[in-house]
Amino acid sequence: MSESVNIRISGRLKKFIAQQIGIDGLYESASEYVRDLIRKDYELQEKSKWHWLHEQLKDGLNADENDFIPFNPTEIINQAQKENY
């Protein structure tokens, strides 16, 4: 079930929206225009999250494989369990 949200826009912003809709605009209604703006903003924020994650992982992604130390996760878990009991 969709929930509606009402917003009030006046002045220059209202005129600008009017230019975006109708015969001369790209959108059929103000609602369609606003939904598109929200979707674009959502996508931009999602891309920003992925960019942040990529930046955090960049050093590891670009590292030489010879810099990595091999390990056995099972051995590490077993050792940690022994130390905690």
Is residue 3 situated within a structural domain? no
Is residue 45 situated within a structural domain? yes
pLDDT digits (tens, 9 = 90+) for 2-43: 788 899 999 999 999 999 998 889 999 999 999 999 999 999
Phi and psi angles of residue 41, each rounded to the nearest 5 degrees, phi first: -65, -40
Is residue 48 situated within a structural domain? yes
Torsion over CA: 28, 31, 32, 36 (sign): positive
Residue appearing with tokens 């810099």:
67
* pTM for the predicted model, two decimal places: 0.61
The percent helix, strand, coil of the chain (3-state, each to 5) is 70, 0, 30
Is residue 6 situated within a structural domain? no
Torsion over CA: 46, 52, 58, 60 (sign): negative
What is the 8-class DSSP label of residue 66? G
pLDDT digits (tens, 9 = 90+) for 54-73: 999 999 899 998 888 899 99
Is residue 2 situated within a structural domain? no
Domains: count for the chain: 1
